[in-house]
Chain A
Amino acid sequence: MISLYFKHALRDIGKNRFVNAVSIITIALSVIITCSFVLFFINTSEILTLWKKGVRIMAYLYLDVPAEKIPEIQKKISGLYSVEDVRFISKEEAFDVLKEQMKRQSSLLENLKENPLPNAFEIRMIASSQTWEKIENLASQIQSIPQVEEVEYGQRWLARFSYIINLFKLSGYALGILFSVASVFIVANTVRLVLYSRRDEIEIMRLVGASDGFIKVPLYIEGIILGALGGIIGLIVLFTTFISITSNIDQGITSGAFQISFFSYSSMLIILISSMFVGWFGCFLSLKHIIKREL
């Protein structure tokens, strides 16, 4: 019986190619749009958390600050709110690190008469308080210490970036919901169109003894097949676009620390099941509407 229903469903899809193509494309489009937003968030928020984890505030002191003053300044910074620890990096230490990093150009450094680097503090923040406002706040507090010449906490623009991402996230959710609802309705209307063009056929089927189930089950299967096809096509389009974009991105900007990632298999399965649900639900809505009006 199930194979008969499948046969009927497939035959009906073949007979109404145009309307069914419209449904498949709609579902595919909503998968593409919703999922590309989700992909964007997943990857950008990954970058952000990675960068945030690495947030270190560097406070460089004036060159003429005497060494006796150092512990006092360190204490002052340690006392600031949300500071986890403060490490003093002497100019000598910094110079050694620099020399290590510039081994090949060591001749450059050897020509220097004196160490040009300032004494500095490296400040790490308590993980839970790493919001952009707090980072900025702390930075300006450190800046206001008179012996501090300059505060650097890199990626200042990240703050603005994360704000934009949050904005994107909201509009992404809204669009995702909008498109899913829209595809349910488009599928519902497509099925209704198909049913309307076949209402004589359905009427005849009833008159010769077909049960509601006999009429409905192939249509449900049809909806689920349309949903699955739309989901698969959407994922394929997404994946090929994803591959062509990521292969053009300079992996350098992600510092190799992490890989820009596509959906996992289980997420893809969820996407596929959701689009099948959309197909079925569209069918269900329009059948409820039509069957109710008949005897």
Chain B
Amino acid sequence: MNENNENSLIRMFHVYRRYGSKAALFDINLEVFKNEFIFITGPSGAGKSTLLKLLYLGEPASEGQILVDGINLARISRNRIPFLRRKIGIIFQDFKLIHSKTVFENVALVLEAAGKPRQFIQKKVGSVLRAVGMEDKQNSSPLSLSGGEQQRVAIARAVAGDPTIILADEPTGSLDAESASQVTGLLKDFHIRGSTIIVATHDKEFIKKSGGRAVYLKQGRIQPPPA
């Protein structure tokens, strides 16, 4: 825990997550390095989403230590949590777009919350929406978009704040092959630009194409991948 590795961005030590008497994660030890593209894989219910949630404090770990960019999540004070989350761009499995706001407003929210000036927000939102090919729909409601389009808006929002870490939960889960490869391409772009990317998926094709490290989870434990 005290051994300092300059390249280490995330470290999990003996992490457990329990729901009542049932445990979703057992004794997780994991290190993620700067600018890594890493997959968390495994069958449904293995605990992939839960693992990501612990990293952005969507839920606290029941036991163990988690360090994210030097912050000890067990000891972070409540008013520092927003700062942790601004380092992390999250693409949620269910997108979590705000339906009462337009596409533009959804993306702008991240920057407004971070206290960025208005002109910067205008420019930045425009450029990330362009990057995901959604600039034409910036005044639409997320409800009027297809699944793939919502996915791309979710990606735009995740990267708008120039996060150090991007967490993506099943980013290709509900997409056809073409949209999926588009999304994969986008994530790779951000990786090249220096972000650390953690993807939870059971899309084997995606993993094979990207060629990053894959961590296999089964019933809440890290296991060697099946042959």
Instruction: Give chain A's interface residues, CB within 8 Å of chain B.
Output: 1, 4, 15, 198, 200-201, 204-212, 214, 295
CA distance A212 to B113 in the complex (A): 10
Instruction: Give chain B's interface residues, CB within 8 Å of chain A.
Output: 56-60, 79, 81-83, 85-86, 90, 92, 96-98, 100-101, 109-110, 112-115, 118, 157, 161
A130 nearest CB across to chain B (Å): 63
B111 nearest CB across to chain A (Å): 10
Q: Inter-chain contact count A-B, CB under 8 Å?
A: 53
Candidates B57, B86, B98, B118; contact of A204 at CB < 8 Å: B98
Query: Given known contacts A204-B98, A207-B56, what 8 new A-B pairs fall within 8 Å (CB)?
Result: A1-B115, A15-B100, A205-B109, A208-B85, A208-B109, A208-B110, A208-B161, A295-B57
What residues of A have a CB within 8 angstroms of the CB of B110 in the complex?
A: 208-209
Q: Which residue of A lies closest to B114 (CB)?
A: A209
Q: Check A205 against B96 for contact (C-beta < 8 Å).
A: no
Q: Which residue of B lies closest to A201 (CB)?
A: B98
What residues of A have a CB within 8 angstroms of the CB of B112 in the complex?
A: 4, 214
Q: Which DSSP category, helix, strand, loop or mixed, fits chain A's interface?
A: helix
Q: Check A210 against B57 for contact (C-beta < 8 Å).
A: no
Q: Which residue of A lies closest to B107 (CB)?
A: A208
What residues of A have a CB within 8 angstroms of the CB of B100 in the complex?
A: 15, 198, 201
Q: Which residue of A lies closest to B60 (CB)?
A: A295
A283 nearest CB across to chain B (Å): 19
Q: Check B161 against A209 for contact (C-beta < 8 Å).
A: yes
What residues of B have a CB within 8 angstroms of the CB of A209 in the complex?
A: 82-83, 85-86, 110, 113-114, 161
CA distance A295 to B85 in the complex (A): 14
CA distance A2 to B56 in the complex (A): 28
Q: Check A208 against B90 for contact (C-beta < 8 Å).
A: yes
The 5 closest A-B pairs by CB, nearest first: A210-B113, A209-B86, A209-B85, A211-B82, A208-B110
Contact sample, A vs B, 12 pairs, CB 8 Å cutoff: A201-B98, A204-B96, A204-B97, A205-B109, A205-B113, A206-B85, A208-B85, A210-B82, A211-B79, A211-B113, A212-B79, A214-B82
CA distance A1 to B59 in the complex (A): 29
Among A205, A206, A209, A211, the most chain B Cβ lie within 10 Å of the Cβ of A209
Among B56, B59, B98, B157, the most chain A Cβ lie within 10 Å of the Cβ of B98
What residues of B have a CB within 8 angstroms of the CB of A198 in the complex?
A: 100
What residues of B have a CB within 8 angstroms of the CB of A207 in the complex?
A: 56, 58, 85, 90, 92, 96
CA distance A208 to B108 in the complex (A): 11
B112 nearest CB across to chain A (Å): 6
A60 nearest CB across to chain B (Å): 82
CA distance A210 to B116 in the complex (A): 12
Among B59, B83, B112, the most chain A Cβ lie within 10 Å of the Cβ of B112
Q: Which residue of A lies closest to B160 (CB)?
A: A208
CA distance A282 to B161 in the complex (A): 34
CA distance A198 to B138 in the complex (A): 22
What residues of B have a CB within 8 angstroms of the CB of A206 in the complex?
A: 81-82, 85
B55 nearest CB across to chain A (Å): 12
B176 nearest CB across to chain A (Å): 26
CA distance A206 to B109 in the complex (A): 10
Q: Which residue of A lies closest to B101 (CB)?
A: A201
A291 nearest CB across to chain B (Å): 10
